[in-house]
Amino acid sequence: MSAQNSNRKNGPSLQAADDQLNRALSEEFVTAVIDGQLFGVPVLSVQDVLGPQSLANIPLAPPEVAGSLNLRGRIVTAIDLRKRLGMEHADREKSMSIVVDHHGELYSLLIDEVGEVLQVPVQDYERNPPTLDPRWRDVSQGIYRLDGRLLVILQVQRLLDIIKVAAAA
């Protein structure tokens, strides 16, 4: 009887330890689709996910800045990732947003649609291939190959630092 109790006590704790190890050996990303391409944003960078929002125009802003929005009383700068990544223009009225924090400021990354949170094994990580578009390579930290699709991981700090430099120029 005590052996059974011991197994019951160790069983769940072994499962919990195994789950913790799997999480430690994997990374989680909020996925986004832009022009049919799958992108990932590290889940710890994401503050919020929004549906279509009304944007206020920001005069003299860099082309990547789509405008600003009010999120629970905070002004959030909206970044058009299609423009930032050199893709064709699309109807922004249907754009969704992933809100990220960068140096204490909130930014809304405008995308076509939000996917799911993916947990991918660290061992499947690959560096940016040399054939990746240079505009993407500058803001990507690497890729994952997923069942016939390429998941490009966006480096949020690099993505937004370049926009800050453009705004200062």
Alpha helices in 45-155 (DSSP H): 81-84, 134-137
Contact present, 114 and 32 (Cβ < 8 Å): yes
Using the predicted structure, report yes or no on whether residue 9 has a pLDDT greater than 70: no
Is the pTM above the cut of 0.85? no
Q: How far apart are CA 129 and CA 83, in angstroms?
A: 22
Q: Does domain 27-168 have CATH number 2.40.50.180?
A: yes
Instruction: Give the tens place of pLDDT for each residue, 130-139.
Output: 998 888 999 9
Using the predicted structure, report yes or no on whether residue 34 has a pLDDT greater than 50: yes
Conformational region of residue 27, where left means phi above 0, alpha means psi within -120 to 50, and beta covers everything else? beta
Contact present, 111 and 39 (Cβ < 8 Å): yes
Question: Per-domain residue ranges for the chain?
Answer: 27-168
Q: How far apart are CA 21 and CA 80, in angstroms?
A: 37
Contacts with 137 (C-beta within 8 Å, 6 or more apart), sequence order? 128
Q: How far apart are CA 25 and CA 149, in angstroms?
A: 21
**Average pLDDT score, the chain:** 85
Confidence of residue 7 (pLDDT cuts 50, 70, 90): very low
The pLDDT assigned to 167 comes to: 56
Return the percentage of the chain with pLDDT > 70, whole number: 82
Q: Give the CA-trace dihedral at 71, 73, 77, 82, to 10 degrees.
A: 10
| Residues comprising the chain, all counted | 169
